[in-house]
Amino acid sequence: MSQSIKVEKTVTIDKPAAELYSFWRQFENLPRFTRHLKDVRVISDNRSHWVITGPLDGTVEWDAEIVDDRPNELIAWKSVPGADVDNAGSVQFKAAPGNRGTEVKVVTVYNPPGGVIGNMLAKLFGESPEQQIGDDLARFKMLMEAGEIATNDGQPSGHSHSKD
User: What pLDDT does 164 receive?
Assistant: 47
Q: Which CATH code for domain 5-146?
A: 3.30.530.20
CB of 9 closer than 8 Å to CB of 135: no
Distance CA 27, CA 62 (A): 14
Q: What is the pLDDT of residue 83?
A: 85
pTM exceeding the 0.85 threshold for the entire prediction? no
For 89-140, the pLDDT digits (tens) are 999 999 999 989 999 999 999 876 665 555 555 555 555 777 889 999 999 9
Q: Which amino acid is at 46?
A: N
Confidence (pLDDT) at 44? 95
pLDDT bucket at 160, cuts 50 / 70 / 90: very low
Rounded Cα gap, residues 90 and 80, in angstroms:
15
Please report the pLDDT score of residue 117 as a whole number: 52
In single-letter form, the type of residue at position 138 comes to A
Give how far the C-alpha of residue 157 lies from the chain's centroid of Cα atoms, to the nearest Å: 27
Q: What are the domain boundaries of the chain? A: 5-146
Q: What pLDDT, in 10s, does the model give residues 2-46?
A: 578 889 999 999 999 999 999 999 999 999 999 889 999 999 999
